[in-house]
């Protein structure tokens, strides 16, 4: 991702189990809430045109944005290690673990409401670590 082209600040939410509750039949069921996973993330946001929305979605959602995000802002780079004969750990490579997934939520500072994410698209240029993460988000009613 080219630094300096960010035009928006976003907060990313993941759904986490925060407890349990008893349903009317006496069964225990989990309680989930949207909790902030990454806050104040600088992103490049582009609102998609009406013709794009009709072509791709076949309907008319309220708003669709495409976000470009630095991979280190919403994920982690993990060293892959092996232990040699002397017990020393040797780094053999790196991998990237994205911290958000499809159907997670995002809020943009300049737009009211929450957006649901489509499956993330990792843009790689011959590297284990993506150059940038491309997300398409659609507005959801809360």
**pLDDT tens digits, one per residue of 18-31:** 999 988 888 899 99
The DSSP H or E segment spanning 56 is helix 50-57
8 Å CB contact between 97 and 71: no
CA dist., res. 14 & res. 103, Å (int): 9
Residues 20, 28: Cα–Cα separation, whole Å: 6
13 pLDDT above the threshold of 80:
yes
Lowest mean pLDDT segment, chosen from 55-69, 80-94, 97-111, 114-128? 55-69
Residue 94 near residue 75, CB atoms below 8 Å? no
For domain 8-20+29-140, the CATH architecture is: Beta Barrel (2.40)
Average pLDDT of 106-133? 89
């Amino acid at each position: 991702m080219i630094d300096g082209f960010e035009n928006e600040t976003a907060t990313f939410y993941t759904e986490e189990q925060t407890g349990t509750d008893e349903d009317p039949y006496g069964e225990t069921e989990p309680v989930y809430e949207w909790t902030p996973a990454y806050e104040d993330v600088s992103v490049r946001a582009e609102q998609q045109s009406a013709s794009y929305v009709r072509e791709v979605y076949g309907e008319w959602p309220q708003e669709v944005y495409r976000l470009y995000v630095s991979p280190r802002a919403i994920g982690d780079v993990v060293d892959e290690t092996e232990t040699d004969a002397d017990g020393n750990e040797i780094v053999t490579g790196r991998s990237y673990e994205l911290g958000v997934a499809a159907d997670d939520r995002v809020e943009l500072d300049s737009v009211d409401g929450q957006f649901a994410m489509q499956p993330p698209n990792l843009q790689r240029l011959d590297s284990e670590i993506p150059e940038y993460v491309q997300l398409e988000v659609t507005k959801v009613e809360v």
